[in-house]
Each structure stands twice: as structure tokens, then as C-alpha cells.
Amino acid sequence: MRFRNSDEAWEFWVQYGGHIGFDVRNRNTIRSRIDGTITSCRFVCSNEGIRRKSQIDHEPKRIRAETRTNCKVRMIVSFDRVAKFFEVTEVDLEHNHLLQLPQTCHLLALQRKISDVQALEIEIANDSGIMPKASHEVACRRAGGKFNVGYTLTDQKNHLRTKRQREMAYGQAGSMLKFFRDKIVENPSFQYHLQLDCEEHIANILWVDAKMLLDYAHFGDVVTFDTTFGTNKEYRPFGIFLGLN
């Protein structure tokens, strides 16, 4: 087979994996040292290789399921500089593990995708106060079943969380930080802390004022984390540390 570029080859490998019933990975991409153009790509099964043994001495709190089986399935494409296309130069399609059933292939990581139209519908439903579970059920019925939607309820919640974090980072973050700094000027006992996610977006916020610190001195024998307040209209959870004597 021949492809016009490496992206077209990768898209084919993703579609092939979804059709057969296995997840895929881009193992490596080799570029020319002269001009930086891609010369070859190695696409593999997600079960390729063997997981490295943990270097920690103590037992981990959560043991992850073993997914690597040293599967040898691969497709290597190389760039032909004369013909200006990528050609399959090596391929192995024999798996050493069970494949997904046709009924569950849509749950593979790279087979799940929220389109721009679906993203707009999800956001409209969320702005209208419809909970994710209900809006996802409507989308499944409209598409003729959950197999035809293209994404799961977890994907939908992740999309909304990413949207909230993006809005927080570019909208409310500046005014919130200014509010905290003003509070510190009024009373140096005011404290706050921000926790960022892997993309450097604000994920969690904790703040404590002077009165809270004083209350904790009197009601700090037992402390609980109370999340019964649920979420606000932006679907952000809010919890308080409740102290009792």
C-alpha cells in the first residue's frame, strides 16, 4: 500500500485497528537529519512490548492491569523521495492476544472521538441544565444506539471538564487571583493554594481566611470533608472542611 503522507498512513492504521479489534500506537517516527522530513514510521499494536518493572520498594496502592503482551503486530512505512509517497515496507498482522468483539470495538481509545457538532450539542445541553447522563442517553437514542455515538459518557464528562478548565484559565482565573491578593493585603493571615493539572490549567482551589483559622483552633478535634453542597451552574464541585469539637 502507498500513502500520500505519514498522517494518511496513521489514519489507515487506526481504522484498521478499529475494524479488526485492537488498539494501536505510533511506536516511533524517524526524521532526516538533513532537512527534518519524516523518512519512516513504525505503527504497532497497543500490546507491543513489555511493561517495565517498578523501581519502588513498597507495594503500590493501586495495581494496574497488565496490558502488554509483547505483541509483534506492526506496520512500517518508509518515504520514497523519488516517487514522493510513503510505502509499506514491513508488516506483521499475527496477534498473540485476544481481540475485541465487534460489539466493543467502539470503546477502544482511538476509536472514540467527539465531533465538533457533538461537542456543540453537549455544551448546549450542559448550559441548559441537562445532566451529562441524560444528554448522553438522548444522543445514544438519536444515533440508534450507543455503538453509533462514537464516544462514552466518561468522554463527555472529560470534555465538559476540559471546557471548564479552559474557561477558568482564560476567564475567571485573573479576577480570582486579584481577589485573593486583595484579601492578603487586608489580612496577612488569609491563605490560598492552587493545584494545576498536567496542562498547567487550574484544577483545584483551596482558601482559608483568618476566621476559619480561629474556628479551627476551637473546633479542630474532628475534621470532615463535606461535599454535600454538590456543584454550581458551571458543574464545579464545592467542598468545605467542617470542624467539630
Q: What are 122-168's pLDDT values in tens digits?
A: 888 888 888 888 988 988 888 888 778 888 888 888 888 777 666 65
Q: Which residue would you say has higher pLDDT here, 14 or 213?
A: 14
Model-wide pTM > 0.75:
no
User: Mean pLDDT, to the nearest integer, of 183-196?
Assistant: 89
pLDDT of residue 149: 84
Percent of the chain exceeding pLDDT 90 equals: 30
Strand (E) positions, 69-190?
74-80, 85-92
Distance between CA 87 and CA 9 in Å, rounded?
Answer: 9
The predicted-structure confidence for 62-100, as pLDDT tens digits, reads as follows 777 778 889 999 999 999 988 899 999 999 999 999 998
pLDDT of residue 229: 67
Distance between CA 242 and CA 220 in Å, rounded?
Answer: 9
pLDDT of residue 55: 62
For residue 107, give the nearest of 143, 153, 72 by alpha carbon.
153
Question: Which residues on adjacent β-strands are paired with residue 43?
Answer: 26, 75
**H or E element at residue 220:** none
Distance between CA 5 and CA 74 in Å, rounded?
Answer: 18
**Neighbouring C-beta atoms of residue 63, cutoff 10 Å:** 8
Distance between CA 22 and CA 239 in Å, rounded?
Answer: 41
Q: Which residue would you say has higher pLDDT here, 233 or 195?
A: 195
